Amino acid sequence: MNSSYSTIRKNSYVELQSHNDPSDPRPSPKNAKASDDGFDEDLEVDFDNYPLIVGGSKTGSGISGAVFNLTTSIIGAGIMALPAAMKVLGLIPGFVLIILMGILSEISVELLVKFSVFCKASSYGEVVQYALGRPARVLLEICVIVNNAGVLVVYLIIMGDVMSGSVHHVGVFDQWLGNGVWDHRKLVILFAVVVFLAPLCVLERIESLSLTSAASVALAVVFVVVACVIAFIKLVEGEIEAPRMGPDFGSKKAILDLLVVIPIMTNAYVCHFNVQPIYNELEGRSPQKMNRVGRITTAVCVIVYALTAISGYLLFGQGTESDVLTNFDEDLGIRFSSALNYIVRVGYILHLVLVFPVVHFSLRQTVDALVFEGSAPLLESRKRSLGLTAVLLMLIYFGSTMIPNIWTAFKFTGATTAVSLGFIFPSLIALRLSQQVGGLSFGERFLSWLMLILATVVGIVGVIGNIYSIQSQSD
């Protein structure tokens, strides 16, 4: 039988590829003029009108489900550090930076989707390998692992601080039940991992988490609404001190804080590791549809982040903690203060419980791709999936018992892995592939260079600031 198909490499997600597929944007070998590195020169691809993978899925999650999953990938523990970042930056620069970071992040996501069209990638790593080579893919996967593991460690730290208490704050359990076995923070975190997080993390498809993601977004909105209402009431009653509008340059510590706070902001929008898993399960997928998902998600996140940062800073002023959730153990000076405190803290802990498996999903996929390269897809090996989940949860738990607070975790990941995943790699992909296949307008090329330069500067300055900060604390 004459067939127009030939097998391609075994570890690819696509088993057959047509030689004469009229919808394939890449020309056939007979007509293509290939350069030495394997790219087709003189090739112009209509990126915007081509689905990311030929024969897009007819079933899967809709736009709302994809928005919930992508929003959940973004709005996690990072939101709790924003009021403290606002305290360092001041009200106006902090607000502007939240908007600017959201816009740049959305542009980088669209660039990532756009150039995934050409290489038909099913993961972030495949795009990077196609554009930059195998060593770059390994580096990217290491960044994803460090970033996601760090984020999940932060989730557990927050759960422990809020439920069991910390050095300066009373835990929810202590307020409800008094002293008891629940005062042991490590035990509470372990219980949460085994009873609540593990059952969600063993799910094998991110589409299965759409409903939990919707619930997590709703809980995040409840937190924001309650915080804004409390801040508004206190503002009307004249019980809020005048906030600082700009940054403080009056001391060495203040300047060092400024050097590390912008990298912390970059953590807020990093979701790129989940863009293609979410896309792959999007019903009737296309770049235009995914871009719509990204823009809706960005708008939601900018609003949520801005309201959280402003209301949290207004409520607690210079006393704002690195994890603002711990501030809600005190009397807020309004009616039903105790009940509102419980709603805010317990509601957000539930939000983190529902966010955790979404971030863990991409962490598990990346570890599997790096360690078990060439093996069958993880969906086809239940035993390997369960084994990876168990090992990762154990390591994340031990990490949460050793890192002191979320500020420490965020300032390091923000200056290294977050800027790399969110801005450096997407910019390099766009600039590299555009040399081979075109597809970038002057504005997109300018923005790609701008993001690359800014991200590099932020990363270098952030690392230097972190080093000086550690030295200052040791002195």
What's the pLDDT tens digit per position in 96-106? 999 999 999 99
Mean pLDDT score, 213-225: 83
d(CA 447, CA 437): 18
Residue 106 confidence (pLDDT): 93
CATH 2.40.400.10 corresponds to the domain 56-474: no
pLDDT single digits (tens) 264-274: 787 788 888 88
Mean pLDDT score, 14-42: 38
Categorize the per-residue pLDDT at 33 as very low, low, confident or very high, splitting at 50, 70 and 90: very low
Residue 424 confidence (pLDDT): 94
- Please list, residue by residue across 376-415, b when 16 or more beta carbons sit within 10 angstroms of its beta carbon and e when fewer do: eebeebeebbeebbeebbeebbebbeeeebbbbbbbbbbb
Among 58-72, 225-239, 297-311, 387-401, which is the least confidently predicted range? 58-72
Instruction: For helices 134-164 and 124-132, give the axis angle rounded to 10 degrees.
Output: 150
- pLDDT of residue 342 exceeding 80, the answer is yes
pLDDT single digits (tens) 178-187: 777 777 888 8
- pLDDT of residue 4 exceeding 50, the answer is no
Give 196's DSSP letter.
I
Among 198-202, 292-296, 320-324, which is the least confidently predicted range? 320-324
Mean pLDDT score, 341-369: 87
More confident residue, 206 or 377: 377
Residue 32 confidence (pLDDT): 38
Residue 12 confidence (pLDDT): 38
- pLDDT of residue 34 exceeding 50, the answer is no
Residue 387 confidence (pLDDT): 93
- Please list, residue by residue across 335-349, b when 16 or more beta carbons sit within 10 angstroms of its beta carbon and e when fewer do: eeeeebbeebbebbb
Mean pLDDT score, 144-166: 87
Top mean pLDDT of 17-26, 35-44, 182-191, 449-458 is at 449-458
Residue 52 confidence (pLDDT): 41
**Residues 218, 76 contacting (CB under 8 angstroms):** no
- This prediction has a pTM of 0.76
Nearest of 119, 179, 47, 157 to residue 400 by alpha carbon: 157
More confident residue, 72 or 32: 72
Mean pLDDT score, 193-204: 88
Residue 426 confidence (pLDDT): 93
pLDDT mean across residues, the chain: 79
3-state SS assignment for residue 318: helix
Among 177-181, 238-242, 285-289, which is the least confidently predicted range? 177-181
- pLDDT of residue 15 exceeding 60, the answer is no
Residue 414 confidence (pLDDT): 79
Residue 404 confidence (pLDDT): 72
Categorize the per-residue pLDDT at 472 as very low, low, confident or very high, splitting at 50, 70 and 90: low
Mean pLDDT score, 378-403: 89
**CA 361 centroid distance within chain:** 12
Instruction: For helices 382-400 and 134-164, give the axis angle rounded to 10 degrees.
Output: 60
Categorize the per-residue pLDDT at 206 as very low, low, confident or very high, splitting at 50, 70 and 90: low
**Residues 219, 68 contacting (CB under 8 angstroms):** no
Tokens 């018992």 found at: 401
Mean pLDDT score, 42-61: 46
Nearest of 217, 249, 230, 234 to residue 69 by alpha carbon: 217
Categorize the per-residue pLDDT at 403 as very low, low, confident or very high, splitting at 50, 70 and 90: confident
pLDDT single digits (tens) 122-140: 888 889 999 999 999 999 9
Give the percent of the chain with pLDDT over 90: 25
Residue 325 confidence (pLDDT): 82
Tokens 């409520």 found at: 315
